[in-house]
Amino acid sequence: MTTATPPITLAPPAHTPAADGEAPHFDVIVIGAGIVGSALAYALARSGRSVALLERDLSQPDRIVGELLQPAGVHALARLGISQALDGIDAVRVRGYQVFYEDNNVPIPYPTRKAHVQPDDEDSEQEQGRSFHHGRFIQSLRARAQKQTGVTLYEATVSDLIYSTSQPNVVVGVAASAKQAQPSSSSSSPPAPTSESSTTINFQLRAPLTFVADGCFSKFRRTLRGTSSRHTPLIRSHFVGLELKHEPMSSLYAPTPTHPNALPASQGGTALLPAPEHGHVCLTPSGPVLLYQIGPCETRILIDVPHKGSAPPPNGKGQLDAHIRTNVVPHLPKQAGVAVLAELDKGQRLRSMPNSWLPPSLQGQGKGSSDRQGVILVGDAMNMRHPLTGGGMSVGLWDVVYLTALLGGSNWRPDPSPARSANAEKEHAQAPPSTPPVTDIVDLTQWSKEISPALRTWHWQRKGLAGVINVLAQALYSLFGADDDDLFILREGCFAYFRLGGECVNGPVKLLSGLAPQPMLLVFHFFSVAILACRLLFTTDLALRRKRNIEAAKTGKAPSTAPPGILDYPWLLWRTLHVLWTACLVLFPVIFSELKRNVPDPFAFTMPSVPSTGMAQSAKKGNGSAHLSGTENGPLASRPLSMLAVGAVVLVVAWRLSQSPGSGGWMAPVAYAQAHARTLRA
C-alpha cells in the first residue's frame, strides 16, 4: 500500500509594499521562482546582491517534465552551494540509462568520476544524476532561496516592466499585484486569500537589472525579443505523461522518512522497471517513450506524441488513450506495460506538455528598439530543447553558475564540484578558488560598459554545454522519433554503436550527461554512427529488412536474413550516400540554428514547412519528414555550398577516427559490423 508524500510548504512570503509608498530598491529582480529563478536568486544573494524574487503562485507545482537531473546539473548545484536541495524530497539516484529497441536492450551507464579527476586519485565512484517530483524540487529550491540572506520572496503576479522615463528602452523595475487576505472578526487566524476574502494590492519594485525566468510559456519573451520566428518556440510534439504507482522502493534513501518500509533498489523493491536506478528509453514505432522512478512509490512515463501547436493532443473520443494502448504498450517492458494499462483503466488523467525548440540568442548587444537594456532572459524563457535527453535543468543551472560569476557580488565563492576531486572539500579548505577583487565586481547600472560585455562572455561561455545538449537533444529526437527509411538505418546504426561498448558508450553518455561539453566530440560520435550504419548496409540485411518483412507478411513465410549480394552493391552505394546526406540534414540545421542567432538576418533562410501528420499517422511510413530536423530552418537543403560543408565534415570525422587512440580508427566500426554479420548468420 502506497502512502502519498505530503507537499513541501514554505514560510509566509514577504509583505507586499504599500501601493502609495516608495518602491523598494534591490540590486536584482528575478521574475519566476522556478528552478532557474530560485537558484539564481539564491546564488546572487549569496554573492552579496540584494534580490527580489517574485512568483505568481508559491504552492507546490505539479508538472510532468523537469524531473530528471543529469550529473552535470548535480555538479552545478554543488558549485552554487545548494546541493542540499536534493535532500528530503525522496529523490532517486540515477546511474545511467537502459535503451530498449525492438527485442533488444543495451545499458548505457554514466562514467566513473575517476575520468574527471586527477590521474592518481583513487576515487572511482560512478557519476550520478537524480530523479524526483518536479514540484518537490521546486519547493526545496524556493525554501533555500527564501532562507538566504538578501532574498526577499514575494507571492505576486508581475503585470508589466517599468521603463525609464528618460530612456524608453531601459527597464528599471517591475509592476506587480498581489492578493492580500482580509482579516476575519470571527477567527484569530487570517483567512486564505480568495476572490471573496482578499483585495488586490498593486505595487512596484525597482532594480537596475531584472532577470526574466518565467519558463517555457514566458509572458515577456515576445515583448522583449519581438515576434520574429527567430524568437518563437517551435513545437514538434508533446509528451503525454502518467504516474505509475507501485509498492514502496527506495533508491537513494532506504528507508525514507516518509516511507519507512521501503525496499532498496538493490533488493528488487519493484519489478516495474527492468534496470533500477536507470532511466529507461523505449524506441517504439510511434516515437520514444521515457520511464524513470520519481519517488519510492512512483514512476513517471512520458510518451512522445507528434502534435504541433501549444494545445494538448486531442483525447475527446479516447483516441489518445487508444493510441497508447495500441501503439505504445506492446513495445514497453512487460511490467511497465501492465502498470500503464492499470492506470488507464483507473481513469488517470493524461497530462501533456509541449516539446519546444528555441535556440538561444545573443542578448544585450543591439541598439534597436527591440533590444531592451536592464533586463535579461534566462532559463526556458531564453533557450529550450526537446526534453528527450533530460538536459534542460543542467543547462539552466550552469547558466546560473556563469551569470553569478560574471554579475555576482564581492562574496561570490563557488563551492568545489564533486567531479574535481575525491578530496574536494579538503582541497577547497587548503586552496580556495580565486575570487575576483572588489574592483572587478560589475556595476549593474553600467549596461553598455559592463553588463553588455558580460552578457557576450556568458553567451559564449555557455555554448560548450548548452550547444552540445541542444544539438544532441534535437538530433536524437530526429533519429528516434521518425519512421523514415534513412532514419531507420541510422537508428539501427546507433543501437549497434551502443552495443560496441567501451568508448562507443562512454563518449555519448558523457555528452548526454553534460560531463563533456565538447561540440567536436558530438560531431565525431554522430558521424561514427552514420559510418557504422553505412557499413552495416553491406554486411547485414539492414537495407533489405523492411522490404523482406513486407513480402513475408504477404506470403506467410519467414523473412530471409541473408546479407545482400554483390548485385545489390550499386544500389547500396547510392543508399549509403543518401543515408550520409540524411545524417547531415539531421545534424547541420540544428547546429546552424544554434549559430544563426549570432549572424545578421540576410544569412538566414527557411525551408518549406512540413505539414502536420497528426497522431493517427505517427506510426506510418513517411512521418519521418516531420521530425527530420529539430528546426524548420536549415542551410543544407537549399545552398550549393552545402556539399563543401558535407565534404569538410566527413574529412574531419575521418581524420578524428584515424587519430583516435585506442579506438581502432576506421576498423572499429568495420570489425563490429563483421562480427555482427557473423552473429546473424549463426
| Positions of the chain with pLDDT lower than 50, given as ranges | 1-2, 115-123, 184-195, 251-270, 369, 419-439, 599-643, 646, 650, 653-655, 657-682
Residue 280, SS3?
strand
Q: Give residue 435's pLDDT.
A: 35
> 234-245 and 298-306: which strand pairing?
antiparallel
Q: Give residue 462's pLDDT.
A: 93
Nearest to 365 by CA among 232, 280, 229, 456: 456
**Which residues in 224-296 belong to E strands, given as ranges?**
234-245, 249-250, 263-264, 279-284, 287-295
Integer Cα distance of 466 and 361 in angstroms: 12
**Cα-Cα-Cα-Cα dihedral sign, residues 210, 211, 213, 217:** positive
DSSP H or E segment with residue 574:
helix 569-596
Integer Cα distance of 569 and 451 in angstroms: 59
Longest alpha-carbon distance in the chain: 93
Q: What is the DSSP string of 598-653?
A: TS-GGG---PPPPPP--GGGTTSTTGGGGGSSSSS--STTT-TTHHHHHHHHHHHH
Residue 172: CB atoms within 10 A of its CB come to 25
- The three cell numbers of residue 390 are 533530460
- How many residues does the structure list for the chain? 682
Residue 202: CB atoms within 10 A of its CB come to 12
Integer Cα distance of 193 and 181 in angstroms: 4
Q: What is the DSSP string of 19-75?
A: TTSPPPB-SEEEE--SHHHHHHHHHHHHTT--EEEEES--SPP--SSS-EE-HHHHH
Residue 269, SS3?
coil
- The three cell numbers of residue 302 are 512520458
Q: Give residue 411's pLDDT.
A: 83
Q: Give residue 125's pLDDT.
A: 80
Q: Give residue 253's pLDDT.
A: 40
Contacts of 483 (CB under 8 A, 6+ apart): 285, 619, 620, 621, 622, 623, 624
> 375-377 and 171-181: which strand pairing?
unpaired
Q: Give residue 364's pLDDT.
A: 86
Strands, sheet with 68-69, edge to edge from the N-terminal-most edge strand: 68-69, 129-131, 92-94
Q: Give residue 657's pLDDT.
A: 45
> 129-131 and 151-155: which strand pairing?
unpaired
Q: Give residue 269's pLDDT.
A: 43
For residue range 333-349, list pLDDT tens digits in order: 999 999 999 999 999 99
CA distances to 512, 521, 649 from 660, in Å:
20, 11, 16
For residue range 485-495, list pLDDT tens digits in order: 899 899 999 99
Q: Give residue 315's pLDDT.
A: 72
Contacts of 295 (CB under 8 A, 6+ apart): 5, 90, 92, 132, 133
> 209-212 and 279-284: which strand pairing?
unpaired
CB burial of residue 515 (10 Å; 0-12, 13-18, 19+): buried
Domains and CATH numbers, the chain: 8-89+132-233+362-424+434-482 (3.50.50.60), 234-357 (3.30.9), 484-681 (no CATH)
Confidence (pTM): 0.81
Q: Give residue 539's pLDDT.
A: 85
